[in-house]
Amino acid sequence: MKDSAHKFCLPKKVDSALELLKSSSFRSKFKLTDRDRQYIQDKGIETIKDHAFNFINSRIAPKFPNNDGKQTPMKGHPVFIAQHATATCCRSCLQKWHTIQKGRALSDNEIGFLINLIMGWIEKQIGGGENELIKQQQG
Ligand SMILES: [Zn+2]
């Protein structure tokens, strides 16, 4: 079965989704703590991306995720914060904000889009115009 809501995940789409999320005062309240930043620094951005992939795959991507609506803690990992900030925390938020319908498993493209969204948000949070962490990782 081919997914009718199939979309390509272009960086432009990620950017416009992040812009749209800024219009929500609820979403805008989520910020990384110093502890989250330290964690990202210690682990490295690629490891954080792996964590994001694992969380999305196990908690969000299934057709009917366990505990849907409550599967993403409000703190404890920078990716959790990013998920609330980007409305990728549960299937209701995905449906409302990203028009990804409930009741079916996510496609690889959709998972890729969510990961880009989460990592894009985290990079904006830690970057602050300098992007020191990213440069360190690449260097
Ligand atoms: Zn949610």
| Distance in Å, CA 84 to ligand 1 centroid | 7
Domain count of the fold of the chain: 1
| Distance in Å, CA 95 to ligand 1 centroid | 9
Whether 75 is in a domain gets the answer: yes
Whether 79 is in a domain gets the answer: yes
Q: What is the pLDDT of residues 10-33, one digit of tens each?
A: 578 899 999 999 999 999 999 999
| Distance in Å, CA 70 to ligand 1 centroid | 8
Whether 76 is in a domain gets the answer: yes
| Distance in Å, CA 46 to ligand 1 centroid | 25
Whether 11 is in a domain gets the answer: no
In angstroms, rounded to a whole number, what is the distance separating the alpha carbons of residues 75 and 127? 20
| Distance in Å, CA 36 to ligand 1 centroid | 20
More confident residue, 70 or 9: 70
| Distance in Å, CA 96 to ligand 1 centroid | 9
Q: What is the pLDDT of residues 70-89, one digit of tens each?
A: 999 999 999 999 999 999 99
Whether 83 is in a domain gets the answer: yes
Stretch 40-67: mean pLDDT: 98
Whether 106 is in a domain gets the answer: yes
| Distance in Å, CA 118 to ligand 1 centroid | 14
Whether 35 is in a domain gets the answer: yes
